[in-house]
């Protein structure tokens, strides 16, 4: 069990609890980003549905395990926001390079890419999105992705190198559009209600698993709706909540789940993950930094543009926002926007040394959240949203007597 969960003691605890039938109906996997929580959750779903004895070996070929490994099992429901596009790009590179050199790990690389795409598309299950106004648009994109993915899926023979590369590029672009245009930053309450209806329908075979990623981002109404389900859980359904911010989970929810803690891997352990999963022996940084290398704009350039914006506020001089947006490739994919705004927040840290600075920083953080919402939720153009942000931060700086200090 959990052979593909690298350097996490939680895997042994989960394996022991499953083996001795001690796993409760609701659990929480808590730990830093990129610590393997989703990998463990997907493995738990597979193991619980495995038909073989002993249960849950990764190489098991029972029908349920094969469906779970391909992430096409109807008993699995995956919900919640996640930045998927970089993992998809990294997996595409691993797969296309393995195919080009006919590497011995080609099947593993093929699975890696298929699973990376389905970690995104599973979140757009038609059951979850029933009643959403975007359902038809989403369905059209999902259909395009699945048609291309079918040409790369098992047990088909793979096409030539050029075709494989083109298919991966097309799928990656569609996935980026799907994620940026339609994936909510917080689970809508309708999705929780739709999930509850699905969970109460008894499965014809095996146990159902509901995985909720970034459970700390849920709004109060959504948390209360989920709490109701956890208080009266359907039979033969396991709920797995994932979070990197356990303290942000509602206490009444924490009281109804068993927590499995995931630790921050050392740099050496993260490099082992990069080598084992993506077959890259050369990268010296951590896993998050490795995935960020697949952004169309380097993290250093995004940080530089954030510094230009922030320093213009500090010096009370208007900068060229059109140029910033252009150099950041219009913040597409949207993870670039989060990095940009996070860097601005980082530049404000020296302000926390004074009371006035702390108050101004708190108000500025709300302005950053508003800017993000204007772009991601209300489809405002990045240029317009940043112009509003600059105007409001100018006013904030003036009202606090120029408390913003230039960042070096």
CATH number, domain at 216?
A: 3.40.50.300
Quote the crossing angle between the two packed helices 85-101 and 267-278, to the nearest 10°: 50
Answer whether residue 405 is part of any domain: no
> What is the reported pLDDT for 329?
93
Q: Are residues 218 and 316 in the same domain?
A: no
192 and 320 fall within a common domain: no
For the chain (408 residues), the mean pLDDT of every run of 10, in chain order, is: 88 94 95 94 94 83 92 96 95 98 96 97 97 96 97 96 98 96 92 96 88 94 94 91 96 96 93 94 92 95 97 94 96 93 96 95 96 90 97 96 90
Claim to verify: residue 29 and residue 126 sit in the same structural domain = yes
Residues 242 and 290 in one domain: no
What's the alpha-carbon Rg for the chain, to the nearest Å? 22
pLDDT attached to residue 1: 86
Q: Is residue 151 part of a domain?
A: yes
Q: Are 197 and 275 part of one and the same domain? A: no
Claim to verify: residue 276 and residue 360 sit in the same structural domain: no
> pTM for the full model?
0.92
pLDDT of residue 54: 78
Question: Of 250, 278, 294, which residue is a domain's last?
Answer: 294
Q: Are residues 249 and 171 in the same domain?
A: yes
Confidence at residue 87, expressed as pLDDT on a 0 to 100 scale: 97
Domain final residue, candidates 266, 286, 308? 266
Residue 388, in any domain of the structure: yes
8-11: long-range contacts, CB 8 A cutoff, minimum separation 24: 8/35, 8/36, 8/40, 8/262, 8/263, 8/265, 9/263, 10/40, 10/260, 10/261, 10/262, 11/40, 11/43
Give the pLDDT of residue 232.
86
Q: CA 139: distance to chain centroid?
A: 20
Residues 364, 383: one domain?
yes
Number of domains within the chain: 3
Q: What is the pLDDT of residue 372?
A: 94
Q: Which domain holds residue 38?
A: 10-266
Q: What is the DSSP letter of 35?
A: S
Taking the C-alpha atoms of residue 136 and residue 383, their distance in angstroms, rounded to an integer, is: 29
In a shared domain, residues 347 and 279: no
Query: In this structure, is residue 406 part of a structural domain?
Result: no
- Domain identity same for 31 and 144: yes
226 within a domain of the structure (yes/no): yes
Examine the fold and report which residue of 244, 275, 294 is the final residue of a domain before the chain moves on: 294
* CA nearest neighbour of 212 among 80, 334, 100, 58: 80
Question: Residue 2: inside a domain, yes or no?
Answer: no
Question: Which two tokens mark 122?
Answer: 């599973």
Looking at the structure, do residues 85 and 135 belong to the same domain, yes or no?
yes
Distance CA 28, CA 10 (A): 11
Shared domain check, 242 and 319: no
Of 103, 3, 89, the closest CA to residue 46 belongs to 3
């Amino acid at each position: 069990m959990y052979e593909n969960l690298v350097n996490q003691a939680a895997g042994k605890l989960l394996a022991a609890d499953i083996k001795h039938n001690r796993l409760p109906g609701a659990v929480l996997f808590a730990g830093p980003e990129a610590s393997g929580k989703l990998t463990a959750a997907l493995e738990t779903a597979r193991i619980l549905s495995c038909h073989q004895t002993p249960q849950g070996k990764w190489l098991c070929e029972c029908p349920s395990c094969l469906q779970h490994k391909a992430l096409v099992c109807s008993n699995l429901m995956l919900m919640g926001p996640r930045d998927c596009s970089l993992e998809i790009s990294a997996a595409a590179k691993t797969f296309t390079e393995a195919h080009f050199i006919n590497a011995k790990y080609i099947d593993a690389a093929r699975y890696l890419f298929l699973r990376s795409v389905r970690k995104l598309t599973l979140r757009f299950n038609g059951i979850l999105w029933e009643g959403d106004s975007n359902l038809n648009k989403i369905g059209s994109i999902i259909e395009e992705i699945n048609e291309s993915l079918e040409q790369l899926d098992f047990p088909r023979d793979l096409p030539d190198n050029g075709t494989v590369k083109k298919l991966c590029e097309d799928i990656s672009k569609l996935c980026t559009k799907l994620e940026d245009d339609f994936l909510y930053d917080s689970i809508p309450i309708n999705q929780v209600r739709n999930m509850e209806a699905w969970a109460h329908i008894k499965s014809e075979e095996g146990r159902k698993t509901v995985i909720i990623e970034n459970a700390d981002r849920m709004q109060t109404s959504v948390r209360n709706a989920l709490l109701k389900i956890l208080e009266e859980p359907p039979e033969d359904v396991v709920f797995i909540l994932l979070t990197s911010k356990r303290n942000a989970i509602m206490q009444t929810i924490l009281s109804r789940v068993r927590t499995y803690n995931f630790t921050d891997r050392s740099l050496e352990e993260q490099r082992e993950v990069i080598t084992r999963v993506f077959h890259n022996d050369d990268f010296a940084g951590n896993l998050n930094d490795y995935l960020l290398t697949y952004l169309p704009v380097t993290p250093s350039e995004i940080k530089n543009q954030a510094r230009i914006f922030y320093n213009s506020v500090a010096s009370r001089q208007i900068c060229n926002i059109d140029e910033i947006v252009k150099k950041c490739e219009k913040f597409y994919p949207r993870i670039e926007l989060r990095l940009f705004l996070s860097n601005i927040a980082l530049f404000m840290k020296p302000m926390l040394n004074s009371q006035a600075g702390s108050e101004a920083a708190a108000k500025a953080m709300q302005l950053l959240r508003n800017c993000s919402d204007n772009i991601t939720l209300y489809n405002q153009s990045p240029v317009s949203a940043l112009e509003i942000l600059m105007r409001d931060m100018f006013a904030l700086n003036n009202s606090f007597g120029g408390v913003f200090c230039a960042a070096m």
